[in-house]
Each structure stands twice: as C-alpha cells, then as structure tokens.
Amino acid sequence: MADTLHCTITTPEAQVFDAAVASVTLPSHDGRIGVLKSHAPMMVELGEGELSIEPTDRHEARTRYAIQGGFAQIKSNQLVVLTAAAEPRA
C-alpha cells in the first residue's frame, strides 16, 4: 500500500470511511487543502465544508461528505480525519 494514499474518516459515533484513495480535498480552517500520496507530514485544523474523495478506480464516482470541523493528520501516506460529523452528500 506504499504507493497509495489511505484515508480514514472518524466521527464520535463511527468510522464512516476507510479505504485507499487517489486524492482528498478537505476544508481547513483557513482554506482548502488537496492531499495526494507522498504528501509531506502535516497536522491541520479543519473547518466546516465539503470533503471530497477521488477513488483510485477512475470509473468509480467521487465520494463527498459535509464535515463539521475537527483535525486531520497526514503522515506516511495515511490521512486520518477526526470530525464532529460527516454526512454523505449526493
């Protein structure tokens, strides 16, 4: 899995997403951040807004969640998102 980005999204109630992905765009407290594999290690405070996940399979649809703040850590091709709420968007 070293050649992919693994994304996990967790709320206080449940883990809502856990998979290898091509990229993730998320709302930070002061703008949007794009994350690809091999991203530099980083910890970021999240804002409210849309988190968008691009799948590794180009034939699959993009996944979107409305999130409500929290934190994200990027390290060793692992993106961990901790948020108060993550509601799926169509």
Asked whether 26 and 9 are in contact (CB, 8 A), the reply is no
pLDDT of residue 16: 97
pLDDT of residue 58: 87
Domain boundaries, the chain: 5-89
CATH homologous superfamily for 5-89?
F0F1 ATP synthase delta/epsilon subunit, N-terminal (2.60.15.10)
pLDDT at 12 over 70: yes
Over residues 22-71, the pLDDT tens digits come to 999 999 999 999 999 999 999 999 999 999 999 999 899 999 999 999 99
Distances (CA, A) of 52 to 28, 63, 89: 13, 6, 10
Q: What is the pTM of this model?
A: 0.93
pLDDT band at 1 (very low <50, low <70, confident <90, very high): very low
